[in-house]
Amino acid sequence: MNDLSRYIKLLERLPRGRVVAVDLSRNMLDEACAHLAPRFGRRAEYVHADLASLPFDEVFDGIFSTAAFHWVPDHPSLFRSMYRSLKPGGWLVAQCGGGPNIARLLRRASVLMATEPYASHFPGWRDPRELGISPYAPS
């Protein structure tokens, strides 16, 4: 819940709707609540949950996510979980890291991680992100 401006716009566009904010980090949810609750009250709820095993069945008209999917290692479970949470015909709009969008940075980091004085700090290090190649990514 870093940049709340997108979620504020979402709530503004849904004057009669409700938004459920989900994150695995309680700190992120507390931060979101501190900023959103004074203005939106009970129209926003905060749920501590793993996106890959959401505790919802056919509840939502839509799911909106930014900068989160690439932190979830099990994408089949992630998409099953979201599909289960959506009402039939529900929509999904998401943005996440993927494909080659930070390829130059990753190449530079991997060179540095293999070079002293950094190499000794990264034995067996594995990238925790799932940067899948999207069929829609620009070439």
Ligand X SMILES: C[S@@+](CC[C@H](N)C(=O)[O-])C[C@H]1O[C@@H](n2cnc3c(N)ncnc32)[C@H](O)[C@@H]1O
List of residues contacting ligand X (CB under 6 A): 1-3, 22-25, 28, 50-52, 66-68, 71-72
Shorter beta-carbon distance to ligand X: residue 26 or 114: 26
Q: How many CA atoms lie within 13 A of 86 on its CB side?
A: 17
Q: Which residues contact 122 (CB under 8 A, 6 or more apart)?
A: 113, 114
Shortest Cβ 108–ligand X spacing (Å):
20
Q: How many CA atoms lie within 13 A of 85 on its CB side?
A: 22
Shortest Cβ 128–ligand X spacing (Å):
9
β-pair partners for 78: none
Shortest Cβ 114–ligand X spacing (Å):
26
Please identify the residue of the shown chain whose CB is closest to the bound ligand X: 2
Rounded CA-CA distance 103/57 in Å is 37
Shorter beta-carbon distance to ligand X: residue 77 or 90: 77
Shorter beta-carbon distance to ligand X: residue 53 or 110: 53
